[in-house]
Amino acid sequence: MSSAVSLEVGGDGVLVATMNLPGRPMNVVGDTLMEGIAQACAKLADPAVKGMILTSGKADFCAGGDLDRMSQWSKPEEPFEGSMAMKKVLRQLELQGKPVVAAINGHALGGGLEIALACHARIAIDDARLKLGQPEVKLGLLPGGGGTVRLPRLVGIQAALQICGEGNDIAPAKAREMGLVADLAKDRDELMAKARAWIAANPKAKQPWDQPKFRFPGGDSRTPAVAQMWAIAPSVASQKTWGNYPAVRHIMSSIFEGGLLDFEAASVVESRYFAACVMSQESKNMINTLWFQLNAIKKGASRPAGVPASKVGRLGILGAGMMGGGIAYVSAKAGIDVVLLDTTQEAADKGKAYSQGLLDKAVKKGRSTAEKRDALLAKIQATTRYEDLAGCDLVIEAVFEDRAVKADVTKKAESVLAADKVFASNTSTLPITGLAKASARPQNFIGLHFFSPVDKMPLVEIIVGQATSEQTLARAFDYVAQIGKTPIVVNDSRGFYTSRVFATYVMEGIAMLKEGVHPRSIEVAGLQAGMPMPPLALQDEVSLSLSMHVQEQTKKDLAAEGRTLPEHPGTGVIRQLVEVGRIGKKAGKGFYDYGDDGKALWPELTRLYPTAAQQPAQREMIDRLMFAQANEAARCYEEGVLRSVADANIGSIFGWGFAPFHGGALQFINAMGARAFVERSRGLAAKFGPRFEPAAVVVKMAESGGRFSDAA
């Protein structure tokens, strides 16, 4: 008996094969699990066995491929052969001539769903939290265990394209609707009973694609309606991805070609595309950052060890504006009692009304109930009285970005707060060490930088001031995890990490405008680079007046320290637009005009900054936008603002949408190699200015052959 899949034949002759990979919290597809399934298959051949139920002994059915193993593959033959070996076992399973049912007791994702697809029927527990799907594309991969071959033959080419190309989770009820699962069960007992009944009713089960008269539901790739879809799908995909995600292209090719071929040939084609995905730099980048580094962060790599875990029961929020209102919502949602304070009751109530608005919408859409909404709202107390902060474990201030106002509320809150509790500032620009001067307990003072809109953005940047204690950091970290967000930890500095690096992207785009690059080309370059928003539109969102204000404040602060900074070439452009009242989207005018029909580039821009006769190559513009960010991130690393490579990469993707296929701002440098980065940076510096001079840390790596790594 295999240790990965336990086998038990019941009195009714049904073999129950239970996947339970030893030593791992989840079942993952790899040699061990597939050997277990092969042994189950051999047992199924026993004449006394009538059929088989494949289920799991863990909370999930099977979570997907073993990424540890995949990341060790270095030659394309390895993924190709690995994928073909898995398919051989699954083919044996479905060609035994005996019914096999997947009893899906928990998540069946990626390779897990592919195993279930090789069973003759799938029955799942009807729990809305249970996820089915092929999320491989999100890590730059393609389902290599027959997903792009069986799904089109089961639910049709278009639905398969959506499942594999978008990688979204499918809830059991929806899966039933689309024919992905045959039936639903309310609990494990009913699941097993229904699986047994299916076996009894279908003693000679055969897959649809192994029937002589098989036809693709909705038609194969030649069918006119499908062929028409194929004429459009690649354009739609490239509009979304700008061609930056080869996996999307490979998935389309595999499904298209598979839709012209027989099952066996389609399977080989899929394995070839799978190998191409595994070997791509894009999948290496995404697996490195969005899997390994993200998991390291979630496991607390940046949290001081040795401080006991903590939970916030009661939270105080000062300032019930856009940020305070959002922080109140996400915290109450995590079960925390919230005291939301502002200068007037009306302002405090308005902050609470933000939650009401979000919840009303959720109730209307059927995603929540009136009872749940009321229970959550009851957790938020809107007030003007500091006494109400008594008993809070943590207070977060989100008042105006003004040192004096922040100092005032810090003192008032601390007078009520117990001596061992934490006080956090949600400032976006003011150094934490300076703000902590207003505190009687600077060791308990920390930065918790949320992103707007708080309910949607996954990241919180934790900023450690000079006096912040390890205990305070650990507590802040635990709170961020408690509300389901991803924390990165950085040391104090002007603009911290995210605002500082993000600004280089926007400013580089604006500098191009000044040089005479057509504004539309700048915007297209931003999107082609893989950024979620182009630079000029993004500056409008942030507001030009806010950026102006921050830059002036920085200049003043530096002057007080006897320092000056060379002005970025984009600064003059912002000043000029602010002077004519074009302060951004909130005023209805910035680089764009905003009207009822949407936005359009301000026609006067090309008069103010005449378009040069010679326009630069798009590649050069993309490089400028990306090198500016990566180089600034490297400087943050060199200066010790960043404490880890994982925080740098995850912070860049989750914080400001740094093109995910590059795997983050420092992985961008690793992927191309320090030497190539230094060379290209020097070329850009010669042409566009010293801001492109490569960070010393990368120059050193180029000489020594090193790379950014958290490995000790």
Q: Which residues are catalytic?
A: 461
In the complex, minimum distance from the CB of residue 691 to ligand NAD, in angstroms, rounded to a whole number: 25
In the complex, minimum distance from the CB of residue 451 to ligand NAD, in angstroms, rounded to a whole number: 6
Q: How far is CA 596 from the centre of its chain?
A: 32
Q: What b/e sequence results for 146-169 when a residue is b if at least 16 CB atoms lie within 10 Å of its CB, and e otherwise?
A: bbbbbbbbbbbbbbbbbbbbbbee
Beta bridge partners of 9: 15
Interatomic CA distance for residues 139 and 65, integer angstroms: 11
In the complex, minimum distance from the CB of residue 452 to ligand NAD, in angstroms, rounded to a whole number: 3
Interatomic CA distance for residues 223 and 153, integer angstroms: 14
Locate 101 and state its tokens.
């049912």
In the complex, minimum distance from the CB of residue 25 to ligand NAD, in angstroms, rounded to a whole number: 35
Closer to ligand NAD by Cβ: residue 200 or 347: 347
In the complex, minimum distance from the CB of residue 533 to ligand NAD, in angstroms, rounded to a whole number: 14
Closer to ligand NAD by Cβ: residue 125 or 460: 460
Closer to ligand NAD by Cβ: residue 166 or 408: 408
Closest CA relative to residue 140, chosen from 99, 94, 79: 79
Closer to ligand NAD by Cβ: residue 5 or 340: 340
Closer to ligand NAD by Cβ: residue 217 or 321: 321
DSSP secondary structure, 494-528, as one string: TTTTHHHHHHHHHHHHHHHHHHT--HHHHHHHHHH
Using CB under 6 A, list all residues that contact ligand NAD.
318-324, 341-343, 347, 398-401, 405, 408-409, 426-428, 449-450, 452
Chain residue at closest Cβ approach to ligand NAD: 321
Q: How far is CA 471 from the centre of its chain?
A: 28
In the complex, minimum distance from the CB of residue 422 to ligand NAD, in angstroms, rounded to a whole number: 17
- Angle formed by the axes of helices 618-638 and 645-656, nearest 10°: 130
Locate 24 and state its tokens.
């791992």
Closer to ligand NAD by Cβ: residue 363 or 587: 587
DSSP secondary structure, 358-389, as one string: HHHHHHHTTSS-HHHHHHHHTTEEEES-GGGG
In the complex, minimum distance from the CB of residue 398 to ligand NAD, in angstroms, rounded to a whole number: 4
Q: How far is CA 461 from the centre of its chain?
A: 15
DSSP designation for 431: -
Could you count the other beta carbons within 10 Å of the beta carbon of residue 614? Answer: 5
Counting other chains too, the contacts that 194-198 makes at CB distance below 8 Å and 24 or more residues apart are 194/123, 195/53, 195/55, 195/101, 195/103, 195/121, 195/123, 196/12, 196/14, 196/53, 198/99, 198/101, 198/121, 198/123
Could you count the other beta carbons within 10 Å of the beta carbon of residue 217? Answer: 16
Helix (H) or strand (E) holding 19: strand 14-19
Is 382 in contact with 409 (CB distance < 8 Å)? no
Locate 107 and state its tokens.
């998540």
Closer to ligand NAD by Cβ: residue 206 or 350: 350
Closer to ligand NAD by Cβ: residue 496 or 661: 496
Q: Please report, for residues 39, 190, 356, 582, the alpha-carbon distance to residue 18 in angstroms, rounded to integers and kept in the order given.
A: 12, 16, 46, 65
In the complex, minimum distance from the CB of residue 131 to ligand NAD, in angstroms, rounded to a whole number: 31
Q: Is 598 left (phi over 0), alpha (psi -120 to 50) or beta?
A: left
Could you count the other beta carbons within 10 Å of the beta carbon of residue 655? Answer: 24
Q: Please report, for residues 87, 128, 662, the alpha-carbon distance to residue 627 in angstroms, rounded to integers and kept in the order given.
A: 42, 43, 12
Closer to ligand NAD by Cβ: residue 157 or 399: 399
In the complex, minimum distance from the CB of residue 647 to ligand NAD, in angstroms, rounded to a whole number: 18
In the complex, minimum distance from the CB of residue 499 to ligand NAD, in angstroms, rounded to a whole number: 8
Is 544 in contact with 668 (CB distance < 8 Å)? no
In the complex, minimum distance from the CB of residue 412 to ligand NAD, in angstroms, rounded to a whole number: 8
Closer to ligand NAD by Cβ: residue 18 or 425: 425
Q: What is the SS3 assignment for 121? A: strand
Q: Cis link prior to 25 (omega < 30° from 0)?
A: no
Could you count the other beta carbons within 10 Å of the beta carbon of residue 213? Answer: 5
Q: Please report, for residues 43, 394, 475, 476, 477, the alpha-carbon distance to residue 307 in angstroms, rounded to integers and kept in the order given.
A: 51, 17, 8, 12, 11
Closer to ligand NAD by Cβ: residue 253 or 428: 428
Is 269 in contact with 260 (CB distance < 8 Å)? no
